[in-house]
Amino acid sequence: METALNDSQQTETYKSLVTISVEALKTLVLVNGGAAVAVLTYLGNLAAKTNTPSGLPSVRGALLAYCGGLALALVAFVLSYLTQLRLLNEHFHPEKKQRHGYLLWAGITVAVLSASAFFVGCLFAAAALTNPG
């Protein structure tokens, strides 16, 4: 039983890994950005229905977390690009000692931090919106 992948299988596996990674990064941008917009929309609707802006819940922590998560997702996109560029250079210039591993792990770490920022933002939003004032 042969366990090694042929060239075609390797290429398709690599393509699918890149596609999955890009979609994950897009999702991080979508959820963090969308959550920030949703909180601001809710706050705007609430402000339109009340005459006391001081009575509005403070969603600063949630917005900061969502914006931080969005910024981290954008950094992860840049690290993804740099990783792919380094891999390409390693392929065409194997004599040069360029290592892509640290860029890869930095990108993964930043993406996980982006997802964590989203969850922290959700906790802040839930706390602010269930206990206003």
Q: What are phi and psi of 86, to 5 degrees?
A: -65, -40
* DSSP code of residue 51: S
pLDDT exceeds 80 at position 110: yes
Q: Return the higher-pLDDT residue of 64 and 56.
A: 64
Predicted pLDDT of residue 133? 57
Average confidence (pLDDT) over 6-21: 88
Token pair of 98 as six digits: 């360029």
Helix (H, G, I), strand (E, B) or coil at 52: coil
Distances (CA, A) of 36 to 40, 62, 99: 6, 8, 37
Predicted pLDDT of residue 7? 82
pLDDT exceeds 70 at position 56: yes
Predicted pLDDT of residue 114? 98
pLDDT exceeds 70 at position 14: yes
pTM of the complete model: 0.86
Q: Return the higher-pLDDT residue of 123 and 91.
A: 123
Average confidence (pLDDT) over 89-117: 90
Closest among 105, 103, 97 to 82, alpha carbons compared? 103
Contacts for 73-79: CB closer than 8 Å, 24+ residues apart: 73/25, 73/28, 73/29, 73/32, 73/110, 73/111, 73/114, 74/29, 75/110, 76/25, 76/28, 76/107, 76/110, 76/111, 76/114, 77/25, 79/103, 79/106, 79/107, 79/110
Token pair of 46 as six digits: 């609430």
Predicted pLDDT of residue 132? 61
In the chain, what percentage of residues exceed pLDDT 70? 95
